């Protein structure tokens, strides 16, 4: 079996840039870049929108608000009465995201924006009360986020974890830095768990998705 060549890389780049982004998303992405915040690629955002739409999602949890890029994609996939609960430790980022959500046409009632550490907030959320949980925060909290998703998701609910390829290092045995090791452990544990049906998508920084049995 041959290795992926330039044509494959170009095809992946084309697929990741395939979904168009309007002015609202372009603005949110630019604001994220200005403060040095990574955010989901258009391809990963479209995948999140698809997951929310396919599950007719009414209630979502996002760990890592950022400037609202992923939140807009998720909201656009949810049902019209759906509510996005988004958590971030940075109040200033959430202030920007709140404006982005408004500019995207979503009423304030469509979002519940909570400022605080995810590990402090997640225990207060309702068991089996959510259709989708998106984890996009500090990799040191990925395992805790996945564990919380197991409690928060209804049966058939979807977990999505961003940056699952660890900057391309996930498959490199020589990559032993703490961040890669933590992400690799989460990817492996979900693959081997009996109560999850997982897949690893090579879109953006890598999107690990899993359905709760």
The pTM for the full model equals: 0.94
Predicted confidence at residue 3, as pLDDT, reads 54
Q: What pLDDT shows up at residue 113?
A: 98
* pLDDT for res 9: 85
In terms of C-beta density within 10 A (0-12 exposed, 13-18 middle, 19 or more buried), how is residue 73 classed? Answer: buried
pLDDT at 5: 66
Q: Check: CB of residue 84 under 8 Å from CB of residue 75.
A: yes
3-class SS of residue 210:
strand
Burial environment of residue 64 by CB neighbours within 10 A (0 to 12, 13 to 18, 19 or more) = buried
Report pLDDT for 12. 86
pLDDT value at residue 6: 72
Among the listed residues 59, 73, 55, the one whose alpha carbon sits nearest the alpha carbon of residue 136: 73
Say what the pLDDT of residue 1 is. Answer: 41
For the chain (213 residues), the mean pLDDT of every run of 10, in chain order, is 66 90 98 95 98 98 98 98 97 97 98 97 97 94 95 98 95 94 96 97 96 96
Per DSSP bridges, beta strands 196-201 and 207-212 are: antiparallel
The domains of the chain, with CATH numbers, are: 6-212 (3.40.50.150)
């Amino acid at each position: 079996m041959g290795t992926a060549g330039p044509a494959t890389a170009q095809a992946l780049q084309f697929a990741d840039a395939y979904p168009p982004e309007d002015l609202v998303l372009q603005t949110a992405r630019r604001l994220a870049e200005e403060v040095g915040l990574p955010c989901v690629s258009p391809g990963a955002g479209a995948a999140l929108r698809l997951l929310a739409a396919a599950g007719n999602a009414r209630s979502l949890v996002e760990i890592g608000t950022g400037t609202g890029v992923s939140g807009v994609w998720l909201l656009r996939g949810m049902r019209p009465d759906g509510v996005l609960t988004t958590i971030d430790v940075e109040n200033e980022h959430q202030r920007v995201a709140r404006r982005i959500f408004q500019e995207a046409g979503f009423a304030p009632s469509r979002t519940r924006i909570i400022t605080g550490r995810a590990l402090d907030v997640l225990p207060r959320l309702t068991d089996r009360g959510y259709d989708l949980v998106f984890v996009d925060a500090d990799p040191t909290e990925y395992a805790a986020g996945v564990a919380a998703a197991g409690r928060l998701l209804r049966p058939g609910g979807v977990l999505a974890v961003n940056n699952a390829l660890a900057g391309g290092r996930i498959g490199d045995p020589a990559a032993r830095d703490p961040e890669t090791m933590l992400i690799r452990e989460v990817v492996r544990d979900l693959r081997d768990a009996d109560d999850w049906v997982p897949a690893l998508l090579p879109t953006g920084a890598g999107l690990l998705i899993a359905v709760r049995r």
